[in-house]
Amino acid sequence: MKKSKAGVSEEGKGVSDELLQRMNGYWRAANYLSVGQIYLLNNGLLKEPLTLAHVKPRLLGHWGTTPGLNFIYVHLNRIITEQALNMIYVTGPGHGGPGLVANTYLEGTYSELYPTVTQDEQGIQKLFKQFSFPGGIPSHVAAEVPGSIHEGGELGYSLAHAYGAVLDNPSLIVACVVGDGEAETGPLATSWHSNKFINPARDGVVLPILHLNGYKIANPTILARISDDELLDLFSGYGYKPYVVEGNEPFAAHRIMANTLDSVMSDIRFIKENAQTSTADTCPKWPMIILRTPKGWTGPKEVDHQPVEGTWRAHQVPLDGIGKNAQHLEMLEAWMKSYRPEELFDERGCFMKDIAELAPVGDARMSANPHANGGMLMKPLIFPDFRDYAFKLDIPGTQTAEATSIMGAFVRDIMKLNREQKNFRLFGPDETASNRLAKVYEVTNKVWSARLVEGDNYLSRDGRVMEVLSEHLCQGWLEGYLLTGRHGLFSCYEAFIHIVDSMVNQHAKWLKLTRRLSWRRPIPSLNYLLTSHVWRQDHNGDSHQDPGFLDHVANKSAEIVRIYLPPDANTLLSVANHCLRSTNYINVIVAGKQPELQWLSIGEAQAHCAAGMGIWSWASNDGGSEPDLVMACAGDVPTLETMAAVALLREHFPDLKIRVVNVVDLMSLQPASAHPHGWRDEDFDRVFTKNKPVIFAFHGYPTLIHSLVYKRTNHNNIHVHGYRGEGTTTTPFDMVVINNLDRYHLAENAVDRVRPNKAAEFKEHIKEKLSHHISYTREHGEDMPEVRNWKWNAS
């Protein structure tokens, strides 16, 4: 590759041939252990001639990326040791699990955390057998792998995680290997721009290493097939200083890599040393490495007359016909022996001391760095008393407030109180102000390290709000920040949070796994505030209306997920206070930003949120005895419509005994056996009755409520109104009408069930109301005054 536009490394400096030879030995050892994990059941040190009985019956793993990952690892170890660096390793191609496991084993961390995997022949045997094996460990760089904050199974998030990890960690360097296939994904493509959000004086350093091995599973990669000029221009254009390391002859490649890393580190030191005094108005050009080496390097060159090394065929298991083909078995033995294991491990299977010494020690090992087990470094947030921000309620249902704006003051003061310990940030795709959290700008700005121009609002290099128009990037940054032990909140439009559905899956899986690993410390929860929700998209309409993220999240493990639908500002404060203090959860809070009626005092809100759901006795007229009807609701708009429906029913059917139930913690609907927040059946039955009709107004898709309550005694009587996929740009009330979630449809459904013989007249009344609503809104462009100005006065 042409290097004219690339950073030029300081040739010939520093590293002796003798050291490079030892590093090559370390690399051979890691490669040997990687191949062993993929193939061997026993005979780990190949002391006996290899037979079929020594080989796993199912060969599961990925070789292609692994030698490159191992190559990078040993080189990073050198600079960590020589320069006393604080570094972790993020593996974009996480399918290279064998390589990372091998390295963590070679540096001793693996045996410290998993003492049965000893540093001897028996331990190697165990290490090999357990990989991709029932009852063993997964094939990827999963939570089980010491030093990992990134599983890398679903490609695309490595660089966002890496950047999230270095925020507010000025001494940390994250070496982030990006697969050239991974680089084709949308989330990864946008992640290069993270450098515009890094403040060199306050944050750490990400060293991206593009692993240009040329291939994915079955195809070449785009970046491997564009011209060298275009490739270098691309990364210069992203604001990096690209260095190229290229080669297929190991020793020569070692030298170039070592020299390049020395140059890279001197660039990094220069930027860091000048960070405090720099007056530049653009971001520094951080170095990055383009590593162009063959896929499946050092593996079989040809199998069955097909080239393998340096092609896509090396991606998984290059010799996969071992059971049927004696030649494959011989080739495997020759391949493994080419690493000369007898020079790397002694008779007992211990790693040779002179090579082992190359690894850093203690916490300097990338596998033992506490940043990669973020809970170890987690400092709890300092909180103001959330009750100090309470909306002062005089009479329920008569005063209005913007819930998220009130929460904004609380968040502002959390930001202020934690400014010194620098462990709280707010993330959002360009919507913090739109979501009414702008009070936070009284104490901080949005971070922006690119050029500033006059008139820019609330932008600075020191800001603690991270806004970029990529939900992927917000999510990835926040995950990286949380995984390294800090706290945050992601505020997002409800409909567009779906963009990160799949990332949520991955994070939920990660959290679930870490709960089973005693050495992994709990990390702060992933908190979402979904505002600008389905029912109040007055500007935007159909494209912005979808409450389905709740369904997506509700499917995840009950250990991990919590969903809150606070009906007003004080309940939102209480819920936010709870979520921001929690660890190891995914908390989803849905709350509107528009002025809405307020229902509970702060004391009532706190008690209601602690219970999860409950009877609003002040709004009920059942006198505490068995009602005729339960009107239930979850979500702010459904609560308003339910209350209005109750008022209507009371006016027309004064003898009807109606109970109002509000649900703030959605998971309390589930049985106690299904979710830790689930109510016991007897308590649920007491509230929802065993046999009375329940009209349930729900924020999201009705099927979610049905699925949560299907085991409850009264399930057959629970009739849910929610989002039916009807959307458009219209008035707030018309939006609920077209989905049958409005007060009239709720009341009509109730009457059909409890007063069927007296329903006709009432239904006629409702028909008139709805028809008036249609004509009024179509004529005036706003809701009828009786809807707009409605207040609760039924008590």
Ligand X SMILES: Cc1ncc(C[n+]2csc(CCOP(=O)(O)OP(=O)(O)O)c2C)c(N)n1
For the bound state, the minimum distance from the C-beta of residue 65 to Mg ion, rounded and expressed in Å, comes to 6
DSSP state of 141: S
Q: Read off φ and ψ for residue 681, nearest 5 degrees.
A: -55, -40
Q: Is position 114 an interface residue for ligand X (rule: CB under 6 A)?
A: no
Q: Which stretch binds Mg ion (CB under 5 A): 21-29, 112-120, 181-189, 681-689?
A: 181-189
Residue (of 195, 209, 198, 179) closest to 239 by Cα position: 195
DSSP state of 389: G
Report how many residues bind ligand X under the rule CB under 6 A. Answer: 21
For the bound state, the minimum distance from the C-beta of residue 162 to ligand X, rounded and expressed in Å, comes to 15
Q: Which one of 9, 103, 221, 293 is in contact with ligand X (CB under 6 A)?
A: 221
Phi-psi region of 12 (alpha: psi -120 to 50; beta: other; left: phi over 0): left
Q: Which one of 217, 326, 361, 674 is in contact with ligand X (CB under 6 A)?
A: 217
Q: Are strands 465-467 and 613-615 parallel, antiparallel or unpaired?
A: unpaired
Site string for ligand X, 243-282 (x = CB under 6 A): ----------------------------------------
Q: Which one of 99, 156, 638, 702 is in contact with ligand X (CB under 6 A)?
A: 156
What residues contact 260, with CB distance under 8 A and at least 6 apart? 7, 9, 243, 245, 289
Q: Read off φ and ψ for residue 460, nearest 5 degrees.
A: -165, 165
Rounded-to-integer distance, Cα 74 and Cα 776, Å:
73
Q: Which one of 28, 75, 95, 562 is in contact with ligand X (CB under 6 A)?
A: 95
Residue (of 544, 114, 63) closest to 310 by Cα position: 63
Q: Is position 154 an interface residue for ligand X (rule: CB under 6 A)?
A: yes
The one of Mg ion, ligand X, none whose footprint includes residue 748, by CB under 5 to 8 A per kind, is none
The one of ligand X, Mg ion, none whose footprint includes residue 95, by CB under 5 to 8 A per kind, is ligand X
Q: Which one of 155, 406, 563, 630 is in contact with ligand X (CB under 6 A)?
A: 155
Q: Which one of 70, 213, 311, 405 is in contact with ligand X (CB under 6 A)?
A: 213
Could you tell me the sign of the dihedral formed by the alpha carbons of 499, 501, 502, 504, in that order? Answer: positive
DSSP state of 633: E
For the bound state, the minimum distance from the C-beta of residue 212 to Mg ion, rounded and expressed in Å, comes to 7
Rounded-to-integer distance, Cα 233 and Cα 554, Å:
45
Residue (of 366, 360, 463, 361) closest to 172 by Cα position: 366
For the bound state, the minimum distance from the C-beta of residue 182 to ligand X, rounded and expressed in Å, comes to 4
Q: Which one of 31, 37, 43, 65 is in contact with ligand X (CB under 6 A)?
A: 65
Which tokens sit at 545?
């209306």
Q: Is position 180 an interface residue for ligand X (rule: CB under 6 A)?
A: yes
Rounded-to-integer distance, Cα 144 and Cα 130, Å:
12
Whether the CB-CB separation of 447 and 384 falls below 8 Å is answered with no
The nearer residue to Mg ion, 297 or 424, going by C-beta atoms, is 297
Residue (of 346, 266, 161) closest to 274 by Cα position: 266
For the bound state, the minimum distance from the C-beta of residue 151 to Mg ion, rounded and expressed in Å, comes to 18
The nearer residue to ligand X, 180 or 471, going by C-beta atoms, is 180
For the bound state, the minimum distance from the C-beta of residue 209 to ligand X, rounded and expressed in Å, comes to 11
User: Which string of DSSP letters, residue by residue, matches 220-264?
Assistant: B-HHHHS-HHHHHHHHHHTTEEEEEEE-SSHHHHHHHHHHHHHHH
Report how many residues bind Mg ion under the rule CB under 5 A. Answer: 4
The nearer residue to ligand X, 99 or 627, going by C-beta atoms, is 99
Q: Which one of 111, 139, 213, 514 is in contact with Mg ion (CB under 5 A)?
A: 213
For the bound state, the minimum distance from the C-beta of residue 155 to ligand X, rounded and expressed in Å, comes to 4
Q: Is position 182 an interface residue for ligand X (rule: CB under 6 A)?
A: yes
For the bound state, the minimum distance from the C-beta of residue 214 to ligand X, rounded and expressed in Å, comes to 8
The nearer residue to ligand X, 147 or 294, going by C-beta atoms, is 294
For the bound state, the minimum distance from the C-beta of residue 614 to ligand X, rounded and expressed in Å, comes to 43
Specify the amino acid at residue 291: L
For the bound state, the minimum distance from the C-beta of residue 295 to Mg ion, rounded and expressed in Å, comes to 6
Whether the CB-CB separation of 95 and 314 falls below 8 Å is answered with no
The nearer residue to ligand X, 99 or 488, going by C-beta atoms, is 99
Specify which residues 324 forms β-bridges with: none
| Centroid of chain to Cα 246 | 34
For the bound state, the minimum distance from the C-beta of residue 574 to ligand X, rounded and expressed in Å, comes to 38
Q: How far is CA 184 from CA 190, 223, 273, in A?
A: 10, 8, 34
Q: How far is CA 35 from CA 30, 49, 95, 158, 341, in A?
A: 9, 16, 14, 24, 12
For the bound state, the minimum distance from the C-beta of residue 215 to ligand X, rounded and expressed in Å, comes to 6
The nearer residue to ligand X, 33 or 178, going by C-beta atoms, is 178
Residue (of 466, 404, 394, 464) closest to 436 by Cα position: 404
Q: Which stretch binds ligand X (CB under 6 A): 148-156, 245-253, 522-530, 684-692?
A: 148-156
For the bound state, the minimum distance from the C-beta of residue 100 to ligand X, rounded and expressed in Å, comes to 13
The nearer residue to ligand X, 295 or 677, going by C-beta atoms, is 295
Q: Binders of ligand X among 301-320, rule CB under 6 A?
A: 315
The one of ligand X, Mg ion, none whose footprint includes residue 64, by CB under 5 to 8 A per kind, is ligand X
The nearer residue to Mg ion, 180 or 568, going by C-beta atoms, is 180
For the bound state, the minimum distance from the C-beta of residue 73 to ligand X, rounded and expressed in Å, comes to 14
Q: Is position 215 an interface residue for ligand X (rule: CB under 6 A)?
A: yes
For the bound state, the minimum distance from the C-beta of residue 27 to ligand X, rounded and expressed in Å, comes to 16
Q: Which residue's CB comes closest to ligand X?
A: 179
Whether the CB-CB separation of 366 and 147 falls below 8 Å is answered with yes
The nearer residue to ligand X, 222 or 774, going by C-beta atoms, is 222
Q: Between the CA atoms of 768, 769, 772 and 777, what dihedral angle is there, to the nearest 10 degrees?
A: -150
Q: Is position 180 an interface residue for Mg ion (rule: CB under 5 A)?
A: yes
Convert 142-165 into a string of H (helix), E (strand) and C (coil): CCCCCCCCCCCCCCCCHHHHHHHH
Q: Which stretch binds Mg ion (CB under 5 A): 45-53, 213-221, 445-453, 662-670?
A: 213-221
Q: Which one of 181, 287, 463, 700 is in contact with Mg ion (CB under 5 A)?
A: 181
The nearer residue to Mg ion, 181 or 524, going by C-beta atoms, is 181
Q: Which one of 97, 181, 566, 567 is in contact with ligand X (CB under 6 A)?
A: 181
Rounded-to-integer distance, Cα 210 and Cα 195, Å:
16
Q: Is position 93 an interface residue for ligand X (rule: CB under 6 A)?
A: yes
**Residue indicated by tokens 């998030």:** 157
Q: Which one of 28, 56, 129, 211 is in contact with ligand X (CB under 6 A)?
A: 211
Q: In what order do the strands lie in the sheet with 86-91?
A: 86-91, 172-179, 205-211, 286-292, 240-246
User: Which stretches of the chain bind ligand X, using CB under 6 A?
Assistant: 64-65, 93, 95, 153-156, 179-182, 185, 211, 213, 215-217, 221, 295, 315
User: Which stretches of the chain bind Mg ion, using CB under 5 A?
Assistant: 179-181, 213
